[in-house]
Chains A and B, each alone.
Chain A
Amino acid sequence: MSPEPATAMSPALATPARPPRKPMPLQLKAGLAITGTILLLGLLAPWIAPHPWDTISMRTRFLAPNATYWFGTDEYGRDVLSRLLMGARLSIGMGVAATLVSLAIGVPMGLAAGYFRGWIDEALMRLADVLMAIPPIMLGLLVLAVTPPALWKTAVAVGFVYIPPIARLARSVTLTLASEDFIQAAKARAESTSYILFREILPNAWPPLIVEASLRVTYAILLGSALSFLGLGAQPPSSDWGLMISEARSFLDRAPWIALAPGFAMCLLVIGINLLGDGARERLDPRLKARLGKA
């Protein structure tokens, strides 16, 4: 066939009944704005913090929020706002690191379980069941119990705790993908198993995994800050938000702002990431969208 008629027809073919691009959902916009702002503030913290975050000054203890110290000062006279900004990096960094740990272990687990099936599947998923049989915070405590606390250990422990949900999702996505034609084709081409797993299945499994992971970041931040709050995470004089709240507990009656500032900051961050994740999921998962539309 000559290419002439094809090109003549192509404009009509290239634009089938493609619906106009929907505007970004409000959730996604709000989530991006909130999370982006906090992220940016955290990254720029060393340059925009109005005061040094760790300099102890007895003359400025327990100052209520004022023009110089917007969010007040703590029991060592340190500026709460500056500590908050520096702490943003710690909390977000911990959450992201923890999620990367769960992805790094959970995704290969799920791929293997979903692709090989049989006893490998059985063994890996029962292992996940065992991890899920302990409440997350207890599992985190257990992992952290025997080593001296440090923030990176908290991140690893939290990452460990959230392996099962990631592994399960990766498994179910792999199960669906494994029966698709292009995988059969790859098998017929006698591609190596690792090629099929990591070059064929994994790239197609990313979208749902990314959405799940972005939601997991909030769980990780909440759990990590709870562990820091219990004294099993960041150590003084760190300005991790969970630790800041924990340290402020003794002064709730005379200086509530020391606890409230990091608390509100954390709420805002978690809400921001949740909105981001929900918005992204709504956009990527048409099935869910249809269901929501019905409700």
Chain B
Amino acid sequence: MAAFITRRLVFVVLVLVAVSMLVFGVTTLLPANVAHLILGAFATPEQVRALELKLGLTDPVWQQYLRWAGGFLTGDLGESTLMNRPVGPMLLEAIQRSLMLTGLSFILIAIIGVGLGIAAALRHRRPLDHGVSVATYLGIAVPEFFWAIVVIIVFAAWLGWLPASGYEPISAGVWEWAKHLIAPTMTLVFGHLAHVSRLTRSSMIEVMQSPYITAARAKGLPERVIVLHHALRNALLPTITVLALDFGRLMGGIVVIETVFAYPGLGRLVVFSIQNRDLPTLQAAILVVAAIYALANLLADLL
């Protein structure tokens, strides 16, 4: 097992190195002059030249890459070309906020997803089962940004219960903080419930038909004990794998959700840095997301 984990870890590191090359390559090798992009269309050649020298853009590409990657490993993520401040602290703040959002969503997805899955399995082919199927089907089929908009229309525009967007630190008061988290969390949870609940349902149905459950019934154990202690333990195994994968998916989902709700996390940082051609921030942010995504997938493999 240890050898397997080591091998997988080495593989993850190799993939991340390749991803870093990809990220760096795409952002520097494309036929677009970065200095031009930053300065805009009306820059004089001297200005462009000066910025190129400042950014080291005249060096060979592999030198630029090594400098960038070396900086990354020593914790120096470069300087945001837009904000003129180091990328590191900015990124760290964004990661914390994003992890808060995804962590909360993840816990809710696990609890509600497994719960719905069990309920549907126990009412197999009855109205509740079909209801859960249809609801989770909608969750998958409907784009996240559309759910976000429906949530805003209903809870912010019509009912006026929640703010439409933004973020408040917890120091501004727990309720203020929570209020801004509810809408994005709700959207993320609904969009990701389907995988967990469907898988729990189907593995639960399979397990409930196995002989040891019949044996437990024959012993006269109460149904509650059979479901929660005997069946669920085995049925949850595949679900746990999917949950780990879902965490990776959430890291992708935050891009749209954070943009819609103007939530200042990692996803919004990526979109923001693209809109403003802030390449150092973009490179660092995408690499961090890839790292979290890869680790979540590794975890899914190991579980």
A interface residues (Cβ-Cβ under 8 A, vs B): 126, 129-130, 133-138, 141-147, 218, 222, 225-226, 229-232, 242, 245-246, 248-249, 252-253, 256, 259-260, 263, 266-267, 270-271, 274, 294-295
Contacts and interface: CB of A to CB of B under 8 A. Distances in A.
A134 to B, nearest CB: 5
Given A135-B293, A145-B282, A259-B149, A270 B27 contact: no
Given A138-B270, A226-B256, 19 more contacts: A130-B18, A133-B19, A133-B294, A134-B22, A135-B290, A138-B252, A142-B22, A144-B274, A145-B27, A145-B274, A146-B32, A229-B145, A230-B259, A252-B149, A252-B153, A253-B157, A259-B149, A263-B149, A270-B142
Interface of A is mostly: helix
Contacts of A138: 252, 255, 270, 286, 289-290
21 contacts: A133-B18, A133-B297, A135-B248, A135-B255, A135-B290, A137-B255, A141-B255, A141-B271, A141-B274, A141-B286, A145-B26, A146-B37, A245-B149, A252-B153, A259-B153, A263-B149, A271-B138, A274-B137, A274-B140, A295-B202, A295-B205
A41 B37 CA distance: 41
Contact of A270 (B141, B252, B259): B141
B256 A137 contact: yes
A135 B249 contact: yes
B157 A245 contact: no
B76 interface: no
A259 B145 CA distance: 10
B252 A137 contact: yes
Interface of B: 15-16, 18-19, 22-23, 26-27, 30, 32, 37, 137-138, 140-146, 149-150, 152-153, 156-157, 164, 202, 205-206, 248-249, 251-252, 255-256, 259-260, 270-271, 274-275, 282, 286, 289-290, 293-294, 297
A246 B148 CA distance: 11
Contacts of B16: 133
B293 A263 contact: no
B143 A225 contact: yes
B26 A252 contact: no
Contact of B293 (A134, A144, A271): A134
Given A256-B157, A267-B138, A271-B137, A226 B144 contact: yes
A30 B174 CA distance: 48
Interface centre among A138, A222, A226, A295, by most B CB within 10 Å? Answer: A138
Contacts of A259: 149, 153
Contacts of B141: 218, 267, 270-271, 274
Contacts of B150: 260, 263
A112 to B, nearest CB: 20
Given A130-B15, A146-B26, A252-B152, A267 B249 contact: no
B97 to A, nearest CB: 17
A142 B27 contact: yes
